Amino acid sequence: MPETYESIVFLREEDAAEVLAVMETQGEKAALAQLMGYYEPGEGTIIGTKGEPWKTGDGLYREGNFVMYYDAKAPYIALVHRIEIKAFHH
């Protein structure tokens, strides 16, 4: 069964460069902490996927059910939250 993710934030260009700079100087955990500032439980957009929302070759950093993915060359950086969807039965 495919994973379901809640999209928390997707930054590109200058916005991404700012967080990517934090990651380069302070590490992935610091970049994740900065992106977590956007997290409001239940407020993200649900993205059901047949695969992961990131591309092959993206950098990945996981902490619990959170996955930060990024490409410093593009540049972009994003944070998603893996969520459990309970099956609804009649």
pLDDT digits (tens, 9 = 90+) for 11-58: 999 999 999 999 999 999 999 999 999 999 878 888 876 778 999 999
Long-range contacts of 60-65 (CB under 8 A, 24+ apart): 61/28, 61/29, 61/31, 61/32, 63/29, 63/32
Global pTM reads 0.88
